[in-house]
Homo-oligomer: A and B are copies of this chain.
């Protein structure tokens, strides 16, 4: 009997399913939480030579790691690595975008005190929504296991669930039979 690969591993992989279906060659995209650069690289592969990626992080370490990762994979053009908080997105991105990704929380294997925070996250989300093209997509993965994660999740969630349904579609993805604060993925489309 043919063996099947695991499908629903975690919200990161579920998010990749959406990204593969949403992002096209030539798209303009934003990685609002660069971190170790894995998403930045994945986005670079999806948008190709005709696309463009803006990636944000406040940690020089993140830019170094991402830079190395992109060079190794041959994706160095069409990427702007920005050493600034994502709440300043509107200072750096001055055109409409197709897709924005947020992976909230802290960077694994780095200083866990450096993490996204509710106030700056909300400002970044507002900015990102204003930049989205019609039918552009924003995806936000939220983790509640770490200190402050639940407050951030609640603030982002209550902001997004109040978006008017004639302007935005907001879809939640969550593993409902997992104990211990399962991560949550929100997908927002501008209508």
Residues of A within 8 A of B (CB): 1-8, 14, 17-18, 20-22, 26, 96, 98, 133-137, 157, 160-165, 168-179, 186-187, 189, 191
Contact = CB atoms under 8 A, between A and B. Distances in A.
B161 A171 contact: no
B172 A168 contact: no
B7 A135 contact: yes
B161 A177 contact: yes
Nearest to A167: B177
A96 B18 CA distance: 28
Contacts of A176: 157, 160-161, 170-172, 186
A48 to B, nearest CB: 13
Contacts of A14: 171
* Number of this chain's copies in the complex: 2
Contacts of A96: 1
Given A161-B177, A171-B174, 20 more contacts: A1-B96, A4-B133, A5-B135, A6-B189, A7-B189, A8-B187, A14-B171, A17-B18, A20-B21, A164-B177, A165-B175, A165-B178, A165-B179, A170-B175, A170-B177, A171-B173, A171-B175, A171-B176, A172-B172, A172-B175
A143 to B, nearest CB: 16
Contacts of A172: 172-176
A157 B177 CA distance: 10
A5 B134 CA distance: 9
